[in-house]
Amino acid sequence: MTDLSKYRNIGIFAHVDAGKTTTTERILKLTGKIHKIGDTHDGSTTTDFMEQEAERGITIQSAAVSCFWNDHRLNVIDTPGHVDFTVEVYRSLKVLDGGIGVFCGSGGVEPQSETNWRYANESEVSRLIFVNKLDRMGADFFSVVDQVKKVLGATPLVMTLPIGREEDFVGVVDVLNRQAFVWDDTGLPENYEIQDIPADMVDDVEAYREELVETAVEQDDDLMEAYMEGQEPSIEELKRCIRKGTRDLAFFPTFCGSAYKNKGIQLILDAVVDYLPAPNEVEPQPLTDKDTGEETGEVAIVSADEPFRALAFKIMDDRFGALTFVRIYSGKLNKGDTVLNSATGKTERIGRMVEMQADERNELTSAQAGDIIAIVGMKNVQTGHTLCDVKHECTLEPMIFPVPVISIAVAPKDKGGSEKMGIAIGKMVAEDPSFQVETDEETGETILKGMGELHLDIKVDILKRTYGVDLVVGQPQVAYRETITQAIEDSYTHKKQSGGSGQFGKIDYRIKPGEAGTGFTFSSSVVGGNVPKEFWPAVEKGFASMMETGPLAGFPVLDVEVELFDGGFHAVDSSAIAFEIAAKGAFRQSMPKAGAQLLEPIMKVDVFTPEDHVGDVIGDLNRRRGMIKDQQAGLTGVRIKGDVPLSEMFGYIGTLRTMTSGRGQFSMEFSHYAPCPNSVAEEVIAKAKEEKAAK
């Protein structure tokens, strides 16, 4: 199959528990890919195949499956909803052409769906909206549509209306074709009848259809004029307009149903084929300069006749070996080809290529532009690397990953475990770029860093079960930083005379606080050659190398500007090394005088609580030194947004559940660094000194 217009690369994303994985299961059942439907409640779904996923009933890593509907090939990626795994959503959106945003009929637009929606907006991905779980208590399709407008600022285009509410939900009305789809009680997706619209809904359907037609014809001036003059556009013309508007993100076709009860899924599949773009209809990926990361003005045109270009967006280790998931943007790839990894400059030979069926695979001999495939056994490829034709080197726009904010120290329980742990952690870091590892040189401890408590919890669990490494786990640690608050002018001389050639370097410098988020910046205003130009980089290197350990408690230093304005050198004894040592000495001498200050990570926290617990939740956030920014009343409760220091948020989910009788939810993501109050800073510094002394 080579006709690109018959391809759809789509992702399914939403808040935790809105029903993404169940929706994916139903799609696979309808397209004939599976015969027995799995269920997240008992851990038997196709895409949640990790033990940890089956047990917790959540999706942790995005899984890819391919299936067919109406002669079209759908590559579907089921993504996680939990905020600790947003990196999975982000990288999936990067390689998709369209998506289905799933919202819970009773929960509406929840905190995480907002984050995912924002990611999708940034990646400019066309989407359909599916309001799920309409058979549940308190489900209300119309209020969710309202929330999409208010909370997400998006324009939903209502394509289907529900027939019946809550447990009386039996089917949907297709507004465009004026048909009612009613399912029987067998729960099978194929057992439905097309009927006349129920009499009590006729007026509603006409009102929504008029709105739909008016919104759609705005995409075509000629049709709009004809419509104004009373000419009704044909279904074909309307579909063409809806397709264009969906592709341009002017609106989002909105459907309703119940994935669990198998009602309404066919219409979504039809809509994926009718309205979501094919790979060659989306804006092509820009190519960037390998060294600067700037766009070069060229793009990766989606066509099998172009040179080969692909992006590795996910690496997974399983029982068959290392799998590299690749989205091919242009050209063809055959088994046995040699491709270039532009990030490392090395070539790799393509051994086995497979099409993924969640955790099963079908061997392929060739693939082409638009395909999402997995390659087995690539050695030096990491997430975000570009694979390209050896003769046409290029770099696709890379992925940007969030910085980890929480860390734990781990050690293997027995001596023999450390090598095993090293190999396992190496594989896990390759799979998940938001998970980082470093070794504390002084204690030899291994420090795992991640996006949140659940993230690290799962990583430790994977180490234990998948790789058989038993660990001793320390308390979670916050990634503090240090900075300075005062400008200071100072001078430092390094000289050493003892046999042989000496060392001499004198520097006069100013150190001052930089703009927030600038890190470390260095400049030189030396005139007259007092410090020769060739030694400036050595001075910069000396200061930069010291920024890793601050003067207060040894945390990395942020937002400092250093200016070298004068100094002195010796014709024989001066060298780059001498000036580097001088800069290191200068850092140690001057930083404690410049009003050093401890910074802590502040998290953007989004809490959802039933109305009767709002006071308790706000009071608790205030006790945690939180700043409340905003409150929004929704249908089923109130959302409270605020900034809270990460150090105060450990174990918060337990407290929130107790306060709200299990109905509260929250999500948080890193926002910025802010100065620590003195009382907190003193405690952190004292603890850091104690640990140092103990070492």
Q: Distance between CA 18 and CA 101 in Å, rounded? A: 10
Per-residue pLDDT band at 510 (split at 50, 70, 90) = very high
**What is the domain-level CATH number for residue 583?**
3.30.230.10
Q: Distance between CA 337 and CA 538 in Å, rounded? A: 45
Structural domains of the chain, count? 5
pLDDT on residue 624: 92
- % of the chain beyond a pLDDT of 70: 84
Instruction: Please count the residues of the chain.
Output: 695
Whether residue 233 is predicted with pLDDT greater than 60 in this model: the reply is yes
**What is the domain-level CATH number for residue 637?**
3.30.70.240
Judge whether 506 and 569 are in contact, CB under 8 Å: yes
Instruction: Supply 205's token pair.
Output: 């359907």
Of 129 and 416, the structure prediction assigns the larger pLDDT to 129
Tens digits of residue pLDDT in 350-373: 888 887 664 566 788 888 888 888
Tens digits of residue pLDDT in 672-689: 888 999 988 998 888 888
| Residue numbering of the annotated binding site | 14-21, 78-82, 132-135
What is the separation, in whole angstroms, between the first and last Cα of the chain? 64
Tens digits of residue pLDDT in 5-49: 888 888 887 655 556 567 666 676 666 644 444 444 444 444 444
The last residue of one of the domains, among 478, 501, 525, is 478
Mean pLDDT, residues 332-356: 84
Residue 216 lies in a domain: yes
Q: Do 217 and 292 share a structural domain?
A: no
Q: Do 131 and 30 share a structural domain?
A: yes
Instruction: Determine how many CB atoms are found less than 10 A away from the CB of residue 204.
Output: 15
Listed range (410-424, 504-518, 570-584) with the worst mean pLDDT: 410-424
Q: Do 62 and 9 share a structural domain?
A: yes
Tens digits of residue pLDDT in 522-533: 999 888 788 888
Q: Do 300 and 262 share a structural domain?
A: no
Whether residue 584 is predicted with pLDDT greater than 90 in this model: the reply is yes
Q: Do 241 and 205 share a structural domain?
A: yes
Q: Do 344 and 242 share a structural domain?
A: no
Mean pLDDT, residues 502-512: 90
Q: Do 464 and 493 share a structural domain?
A: no
Average pLDDT, the chain: 80
CA neighbor of 261 nearest in space, from 198, 330, 183, 355: 183
Of 356 and 618, the structure prediction assigns the larger pLDDT to 618
570: CB partners within 8 A, 6+ apart:
502, 504
Whether residue 556 is predicted with pLDDT greater than 50 in this model: the reply is yes
Q: Where are the beta strands (DSSP E) in 344-431?
A: 346-349, 352-357, 360-364, 366-368, 372-376, 386-389, 395-396, 406-412
| Residue numbering of the annotated binding site for GTP | 14-21, 78-82, 132-135
Whether residue 56 is predicted with pLDDT greater than 90 in this model: the reply is no
Q: Distance between CA 583 and CA 625 in Å, rounded? A: 38
Give the domain extent around 446: 413-478
Judge whether 592 and 551 are in contact, CB under 8 Å: yes
Q: Distance between CA 350 and CA 343 in Å, rounded? A: 17
Of 25 and 332, the structure prediction assigns the larger pLDDT to 332
- Give the residues across from 98 on adjacent strands: 10, 126
Q: Do 169 and 53 share a structural domain?
A: yes
Per-residue pLDDT band at 538 (split at 50, 70, 90) = very high
Whether residue 618 is predicted with pLDDT greater than 90 in this model: the reply is yes
Q: Distance between CA 447 and CA 435 in Å, rounded? A: 11
Instruction: Supply 530's token pair.
Output: 């007092």
- % of the chain beyond a pLDDT of 90: 11
Per-residue pLDDT band at 423 (split at 50, 70, 90) = confident
The last residue of one of the domains, among 478, 504, 520, is 478
Tens digits of residue pLDDT in 184-212: 777 676 778 888 888 888 898 899 999 98
